[in-house]
Each structure stands twice: as structure tokens, then as C-alpha cells.
Chains A and B, each alone.
Chain A
Amino acid sequence: MRNEHGFINFIRQIAQRPVALVSMVIVLIFILLAVIGPAVAPYEFDAIQRGEDRRALRNTPPSTTYIMGTDSRGRDIFSRLLWGARDTIGLPAVASLLAVSIGALIGLSTGYVGGWYDETVSRLMDSLLAIPALVLALVMITTIVPILSNTEVLGLVQLVDFFGANNISLTVVIVLLYVPIVARVVRSATLNVRDLGYIEAAKLRGESLLYILFSEIFPSVLPSLVVEGSLRLSYAIFLVASLGFLGLGVQPPSPEWGRMVLDARNFMTEAPWTMWFPVLAIASLIISINLMSDGMRRVLRNEIGRE
């Protein structure tokens, strides 16, 4: 029955796992916040809150007005978290989606076609994977940001003006980092089905390469792709936040959460809340995504085991 109501059945099985269900709900809430955050935030992210004496309310502890307190420049932390959700979650989400699409394409084709094409592409991917992700990210950011900032290519200039050189660089970096990983996962899933009878049957009726890749192989690769995609999202958030913390990620004035932690670092002893809230937000988001994708993986594994 799996095929007729696959999705509903999948959700039902997730729902039977309390840990996976709770984490999925939390992830959905975070995603919702990334979309509507600015609309529900009580203040602007860069509005400096002032007391009655018109002086900025620097590092005020949580209160009913400012439920998470204010930061060293007197900005409301709760509002900043809501505004910052877009860069913290949205940018990694877009980047992971790109990485998953390109990686899937490469994985499907290398896995199915094999031979020299596979050999060459896989070797190149391995080389990218031989550099630790964060290190490669640092090296790439060093060059991509100045390239984009100084570009004169028509169209790209407007793109850079609109999104910012840093954001585009981060997206490119995440795509380059995760395409090899996704490709590897999809490639091995493709290898699992490549020699099965139904693929050979399609070959023997003269189907085209694209038909075989997308109509015959892709559906069976999809489950592992979904799980890998959610993991990639989690690592992308991890990476963007880490770069933000190093001061090399999304640049101010954007209230990206990793950057918020960096800014709060100097006031760790006098105003610990300025640091705790973004830290908690990042931790709960990433843990939820990981627990959710683990739940999905287990459900899918059971499904396969039962066939």
C-alpha cells in the first residue's frame, strides 16, 4: 500500500515516534519563524531601545518588555533572533536545496553511466572532500567575496547588489562543499538499483538515458535523498553559524545568530543572556533537524526491510 499513500503513511509512521514527531514540529516552527519572523517581531532588528532618559538600554536583562533582554548596543534580542532566522535558516536552506539538486544529478549520472565519466567526476569530488569542509569554506570565501565585490559582469553586479557578495559567496561555498557529498550518497543508491531487472528491462526496450535516470531510478533514490537533504540543511546551518561566529559569514547589520554570539562574546560575564539566547536557538534548531532526519531514516529503513 506504500505506493498509493506513501506520503501519508510516512507521516503516520513518523508520528508514532515521539522524538521524531516533536523535533519535526520544532523544525517546522523554526521554518515558520524564518518566513514570518520580521512580521511578528516586536521591534526592528537594528532599533536601539532607549530608556526614558533617551539613553540606549545596553545589556538590560530579560524583562516583560524585552523578554530576552537587550544587547550591548541596546537592541532587542528577541526581535533580532526573529529577524535573523531568515539568514540563519533561509540561506542554508536555499543553498542545500541547490546542492541537493546538483548533487542528485551528478550522483544519478555517474552511478548509472559509470566508466571514465564516473571515474573522472568521482575523483574530482573526492579531491574536494579531501579538504575539511570548514577549511575549504575559509579558502573559498577568501577569494569569492572579493571576486564578487569587484565583478563587472552584467547581471552579476545586480545580483551582488541585491543579495550581497557575502551571501552569494556563502551559497556558492555550501553548494561546492555539499554537492560531492550528496553526489556520493545518490551515486551509491543508484549503484544499488542500476543492475536490477526493471532497469535492464527499460534498457532492452530502448528507453533514453534521461527516462531511465528520472522515471526508473530516481523514485527509488528519493528516500535517501530526502534524508541526506535534511542532514545537509543541518550542516549548512552549522557552517553558516560557525562562519558567522568567526566573523566571516553573513555580515552585519544582518542579525545572523552565529554573528550574534560573536558580538555577545565580549560581554559574556556581564550580560550572559546576550549570548545564551542565540546559542540556545542554534542548538535547538540543529538538534531538532538531526533528530528529525534520524527518525525519517529509521522509518524508511523499516519500509525497505519489510518488502
Chain B
Amino acid sequence: MGRYVIRRTLTLLLTVLLTSIIIFALTQLLPGDVAKLVMGREASPSEIDNFNERFGLDKPMPVQYVRWLGGFLTGEWGRSYIQGNPPVRPLVTERMANSLRLAGFTLLLAVPTSILLGIGAALNEDSWLDNAISIVSLSVVGLPEFVTGIVLMNIFALGLGWFEATSLVSDTMSLLDWIRILALPAITASFVLIGYITRMTRASMIDELKKSYVRTATLKGLPRPTIILRHVLRNALLPTITVIAISIGWLMGGIVVIENVFNYPGMGSELVSAVEKKNIPVLQAITMIIVFIFALANLLADLLYALLNPRIRLE
């Protein structure tokens, strides 16, 4: 187990490090001067020198990278390029909190639903129920979030008026207010997740049901529900842990679009505006946070998987 944990952690750290290089390199590839892009073509040479010096853009690339990464890790996320150059961190952390609320609520909705659907489909393999679940999950898994978001908004917010179409967030909101605001974006985000997790759960459950130990349990004389609950479920849900971690990556991408559809003040909508304004420090910070969250989710999934799987735990 120890060996496994160390190996996974090191691999993940290496991946995140490589990823940070990719992100940094991509954002440094901008042609010409960032300064010119940001300040406009009319900026005078001295203004540009000033800008470059202030943001450390006059140093060689590796130095910039190390400074950037060090800064990121110590919480010094730099200043935004936009007017007034406000520090990046307060802005981004506030947005991150909102996004995490949305992500958490989405997982709360999507994970139990899809596991139940997946198990239900697998236990009735090839029945009408299974076919219906398969077709629906295959359909929603491919629907872009802006499509589902807009459809849901039209029906439930603009049509029926049950929820808000746009998300005005304030510090003083109660939990109920939050739910009213989060409901539609979270349901939208759930669609893709439910489609994906349901299909994977179904597949691993079907695999598991075909294994010989299920026959052994049957031929012990155990009733079917006991076999499913005591023997099959635990083994079948093990791969689902990894699947959920992977789907968190999806969720982070989906949130970018969904926050835009619902004007939700999270990292995603901030990311899009950073892209539009070439606001590199904000872009880097948000991307790195998303990568960290995704990596952390994967690590947690690996650990949980190892803990629940005696083959790895007792290695």
C-alpha cells in the first residue's frame, strides 16, 4: 500500500509539474509583446518597458517560470493586467468558492442518481429499462452544456418560473437561496456526468455479475439481494471511484460553459473573460487551480481505490 501511494503521488506531482510547464509555455508563446496586446498599439516604448518590468516579463523564460511557479505555490498570484491591476488571488479565490459550490452540488445530484441508474440497468440487462437507460444516457452524454442549459432555462426559469435564469450571488444568502440559484446550473452539469457515470457503472456491474464468484455465492444458496449487496456491489463500484474522478475533469470544463449560460460568478466565466482580454495572470491562476483540483480528485480516488481493494492494500 505504502509503495502504491508513494508511486501514485509522485506520478501525479510529475504530471502536475509537466502540466504547469505546458500552461506556462502556452501562455508565454504570445507573439510580440503582451504589453502591446494589453495596452494597445499606441502605448509608448517607455510605458511598455515599465509594464514589462513590473510583471517581470523582461527576464529569461526559465527564470520567469520558476518565479511564476514559486509565486503560485506561495500564494503570490500576481496582479491582473486589467485596469488598476488588482491582485489576482482575492478575485480568483472568491470565484473558486462559488465554482466549488456549484461543482459540489452537481456531484451530490449526479453521483447517487447515476450509480442507481447504472445498477438498475445492469440488473435488468437487455430489458426495456436497460435499453431506455442506455439510450438516454448515451444521448445526454453528448449534449453540449449550453444546449441543455438553454433548454432547461427556457422551460424551468423563463417558462415555469421555478428558478432564476441568472445568478445574482451575495454573501448574505441562505441555503435555500443558494439552492434556487444552483439548481438549474447544477442539473445542467449533471446531465453529462449522469450519462457518463451511469454507462460506466452499468458496464462494470455487468462485468462483475458474470464473474465466477457470483456463481459460487449463488450455489451457496444465498438469496439474490444478499449476493448483490454483500458480494457484487463493492467490487462493481470500485472502478466507479476512478470514473467519478475522471468526470470531475469533465465537470471543470462544463462549468466554464454553464457559468456563462447562467451568468454565474464562478471561475469559468472569469476564465472566458480572461481569454477575451488576454489577462494572462488570471488565466494562469484559474487554469492551475483547475488542474490542481482535478489532480487532487484523481489522487483521492486512487487512495480510496487502494484502501477498498485488498489486492492493493495488502501489496
A–B contact (CB under 8 angstroms): yes
Binding site for B on A (CB under 8 A): 19, 123-124, 126-128, 130-135, 138-144, 146-147, 150-151, 234-235, 238, 241-242, 245-248, 258, 261, 265, 268-269, 272, 275, 279, 282-283, 286-287, 289-291, 294
Kindly supply a per-residue 1/0 record for chain B positions 9-29, scoring 1 wherever the CB is within 8 Å of any chain A CB and 0 otherwise.
000001110110011001101
A246 contacts B260, C-beta separation under 8 Å: yes
Sample 18 A-B pairs with CB under 8 A, ordered by A number: A123-B18, A124-B18, A127-B22, A130-B19, A134-B256, A135-B252, A135-B271, A138-B272, A139-B27, A139-B283, A139-B287, A142-B26, A246-B272, A258-B144, A269-B158, A275-B150, A282-B147, A283-B143
Contact A132 B250 (CB under 8 A): yes
Q: Tell me the minimal C-beta distance from B195 to chain A in angstroms.
A: 9
Contact of B147 among A246, A283, A290 (CB under 8 A): A283
B294 proximal to A (CB < 8 A)? yes
Q: Least Cβ distance of B40 to chain A in Å?
A: 14
Binding site for A on B (CB under 8 A): 14-16, 18-19, 22-23, 26-27, 29-32, 37, 134-135, 138-139, 141-147, 150-151, 153-154, 158, 249-250, 252-254, 256-257, 260, 271-272, 275-276, 278, 283, 287, 290-291, 294-295, 298
Q: Which residues of B contact A290 (CB under 8 A)?
A: 138-139, 141-142
CB distance A261 to B291 under 8 Å?
no
Judge whether B138 and A130 touch: CB under 8 Å: no
Inter-chain contacts of A265 with B (CB < 8 A): 150
Known contacts A132-B294, A146-B37; A246/B257 CB under 8 A: yes
Q: Is the interface of A mostly helix, strand, loop or mixed?
A: helix
Q: How far does the alpha carbon of A235 sit from the alpha carbon of B278 in the complex, in Å?
A: 26
Compute how far the CA of A272 lies from the CA of B153 in the bound complex, rounded to whole angstroms: 12
Given the interface pairs A127-B15, A135-B271, the reply to whether A238 lies near B142 with Cβ below 8 Å is yes
Is the beta-carbon distance between A234 and B287 smaller than 8 angstroms?
A: no
Q: How far is the CA of A247 from the CA of B143 in the complex (A)?
A: 18
The 9 closest A-B pairs by CB, nearest first: A134-B253, A127-B18, A132-B253, A286-B142, A290-B142, A245-B146, A132-B252, A287-B139, A150-B31
A287 in complex: contacting residue of B29, B143, B249, B254, CB < 8 Å: B143
> Which residues from A are CB-within-8-Å of B18?
123-124, 127
Q: Which A residues lie within 8 Å of B291 (CB)? A: 130-131
Residue in chain B with minimal CB distance to A246 = B272
A150 contact from B32, B141, B145, B290, Cβ within 8 A: B32
Measured between C-beta atoms, what is the minimum distance from A166 to chain B in Å?
13
Question: Residues of A contacting B295 with CB < 8 Å?
Answer: 130
Inside 8 A of B145's CB, which chain A residues have their CB?
242
- Tell me the nearest residue of chain A to B20, going by C-beta: A127
* Contact in complex: A248, B138 (CB < 8 Å): no
Q: Which residues of A contact B37 (CB under 8 A)?
A: 146
User: How far, in Å, is A26 (CB) from chain B's closest CB?
Assistant: 13
Per the bound structure, the CA–CA distance linking A55 and B249 in Å amounts to 49
B15 in contact with A130 (CB, 8 Å): yes
The residue on A at minimum CB distance from B12 is A130
User: Are A126 and B22 in contact (CB-based, < 8 A)?
Assistant: no
Q: Complex: how many Å from CA A63 to CA B108?
A: 45
Q: Which residue of chain B lies nearest to A262 when distances are taken between CB atoms in the complex?
A: B146
A294 and B275 alpha carbons, distance in the complex (Å): 35
A248→B143 CA distance, assembly (Å)? 19
Say yes or no: A131 contacts B287, CB within 8 Å: yes
List chain A residues, Cβ under 8 A from B276. Answer: 247-248
A142 with B275: in contact, given A131-B287, A290-B141 (CB under 8 Å)?
yes
CB distance from B281 to the nearest CB of A (A): 13
**If A130-B294, A261-B150 touch, does A135 touch B256 (CB 8 Å cutoff)?**
yes
Q: Give Cα A286–Cα B192 distance, bound, in whole angstroms.
A: 13
Out of A135, A242, A275, which one reaches B144, CB within 8 Å? Answer: A242
Residues of A within 8 A of B252 (CB): 132, 135
Interface centre among A150, A279, A291 (most CB of B within 10 A): A279
Q: CA–CA, A165 to B31, complex, Å? A: 14
Q: Contacts A147-B31, A268-B158, A279-B150 given; indicate if A248 touches B275 (C-beta within 8 A).
A: yes
